[in-house]
Each structure stands twice: as C-alpha cells, then as structure tokens.
Amino acid sequence: MTLTPHLHVEGPSRLVAYDFGAHLAEWTVDGLPVVWLSGHARLDGSRPIRGGVPICFPWFADGPDGDLSPSHGVVRNTSWTSVEPQDGEVWAWRIAREDVAGSAGAVHVPGNFELRYAVAVAGSAQAPVLDLALRVHNPGDDELSVEVALHTYLHVGDVREITVLGLEEATYLDKVTGRVETQDGPVRLRGETDRVYDRSGPVVVEDRTTLRALHVVPRGAAQTVLWNPWADKAAQIEDLGEEEWLRFVCVETAARGERSLRLAPGESVEVGTRVGPTPIGTEAG
C-alpha cells in the first residue's frame, strides 16, 4: 500500500502531509526544506514516517518507566480522520481512543482521549510561519495523565555547523549519559545528542551553512527535546540514508515524565509549535 499525500501550495510554501499519523511530512519555503523528510522514509504505512513532524502520544519514547511499545505511542502508527479545517487551517484531523483499539500498544493507553490536530501557515508571504496545534481532550470520568511531543525534524545544511540559542542555563536530562546537566552557553552539537530540557521558550537554530535561522516557538508544554543520532547510531537506522543525519536536528515541544499533561475530566489542553525561517540575525514573522 502506498500512502496518498495531501499537497498544499501557498505563496512560497509547499506542504505535504498524510492521514497516517496525521503526519506533516514536508514544508519547503522558496524550494528549501524547513521541515525535513528522509529520502528513505517508508510511505506505505508499514512503519512511522521518518522525518516531518511525528506526533508522540500518549507516551514519549518508551514511556515514563521505559517499558512501553511501540516507541512514541500509538497514534503515529494509525490513520487519523480528516475533519473540516477552521480559521485558515490547511488541514485538520481527529483521533480518539476507540480508533486505536486493537492496535499494537493499545492496552497501555492510560485512559479515554480525543485529539484534534491542525496545520496552518501564518505570517506573511515574504516570511511564512508554520503553526501546528494539537488539542488533547479528556472525555472520561477520571484524570488523564499522558506524555506528548511534536517531534519536529528541522532541515539544516550541516548539523555540525549549527548553533542552538534559547536553552542557556536550562537544566536537562542527557539521555546519552543518563546525567542531569545545566546548559552552559549556546548548544553546539558534537556527537549523539538526546536531551530533554526543562524549558519551553523560544529556540533559534542558527545554520551557518544555509545562512538561515529557524525560529521555534512552543506552547502548552514544559519541555524542549533536542535530538540527533550522529553517525554511528544513524547507521543502525534503516530508514535513514547514508549521511542523512547531517541534514537535520529535532527540536521538539514536549511534556514527559514529571512534566506530563494531567487533564481533569472534561478538560482540554493545546500543545503547539510555530516554526519560521529567516536570514540569520532577523526575527521571524
């Protein structure tokens, strides 16, 4: 089976998405990718799509205790239902607990849930901004505790030549070493990077190769995850091509572990992110 893409062109923006995982796979501006997609991504529904913006829910990675599968939850392995876009949205989708019943990992879903996810392009034609919004609703009678992340893959010219601003002095869990650290100055990646920062403020990825800055503004979640597998680990990932690890960095809006979302019965919470490219040294629209 080949997944059917949704294509939207608006000014300099070109977006591609799939109902499978409600997955925004590509966003290019003036022909240059902003949201990165692997050239080896499986687009047949056999596995989650490598790149784009996977939606992690209701757990992140292997869950709070490291014992859940599939990795990053159940909704990125399931086709969502398209719903009517609103207020300038390009696309919108919905999924609920009954839609994942019987799928791998469904037994671990912690309670009743409904999700609505929307993709929009804001800003101006000269400075477009991607806006992603995931609304989490608890229709049940008990509190719902869930982990969530928008696992955004950003395109860069060479991950070894980027500087990440906005995480200075933030505490983070380094999942490579298992240690809790404090960020000293801007982030420059020098090897495998898998960090969960206890900060949810604007982040800027300055890319000296493309002379472009990518502005990431999260909302509704307390953490930022920074990830790149680097060469050795990337070689073990079958849907990454040779040296493709050089072309992306993941800057993820996340709520995991002790900072998971906790929703009272009937409560809704929106988790989102805005991404905008600009020339280095200028602000996003």
Q: What are phi and psi of 222, to 5 degrees?
A: -100, -5
Per-residue pLDDT, 285: 65
H or E element that contains 99? helix 97-100
Residue 285 lies in a domain: no
Read off the CATH number of the domain in which 153 is found.
2.70.98.10
Per-residue pLDDT, 126: 84
Per-residue pLDDT, 274: 98
Per-residue pLDDT, 152: 98
Residue 70 lies in a domain: yes
Residue 18 lies in a domain: yes
Q: What are phi and psi of 125, to 5 degrees?
A: -65, -30
pLDDT tens, residue by residue, 89-140: 999 999 999 999 989 999 999 999 999 999 999 988 889 999 999 999 999 9
pLDDT tens, residue by residue, 220-278: 999 999 999 999 999 999 999 999 999 999 999 999 999 999 999 999 999 999 999 99
Q: What is the mean pLDDT of the chain?
A: 96
If one counts the domains in the chain, the total is 1
Residue 214 lies in a domain: yes
pLDDT interval class at 283 (50, 70, 90): confident
Write out the residue range of the structural domain in which residue 143 sits.
6-279
Half-sphere exposure at residue 211, Cβ-oriented, CA atoms within 13 angstroms: 1
Residue 265 lies in a domain: yes
Residue 1 lies in a domain: no
pLDDT tens, residue by residue, 40-60: 999 999 999 999 999 999 999
Would the pLDDT of 1 be above 80?
no
Would the pLDDT of 16 be above 70?
yes
Pick the closest to residue 276 from 92, 54, 35, 50 (CA basis).
Answer: 35
Residue 205 lies in a domain: yes
Residues 6+ apart with CB under 8 A from 51: 25, 35, 36, 37, 38, 41, 153, 248
pLDDT tens, residue by residue, 153-182: 999 999 999 999 999 999 999 999 999 999
Residue 46 lies in a domain: yes
CA distance 220 to 200: 8
Exposed/middle/buried for 233, CB within 10 Å: 0-12, 13-18, 19+? Answer: middle
Per-residue pLDDT, 284: 74
Residues 6+ apart with CB under 8 A from 107: none
pLDDT tens, residue by residue, 193-206: 999 999 999 999 99
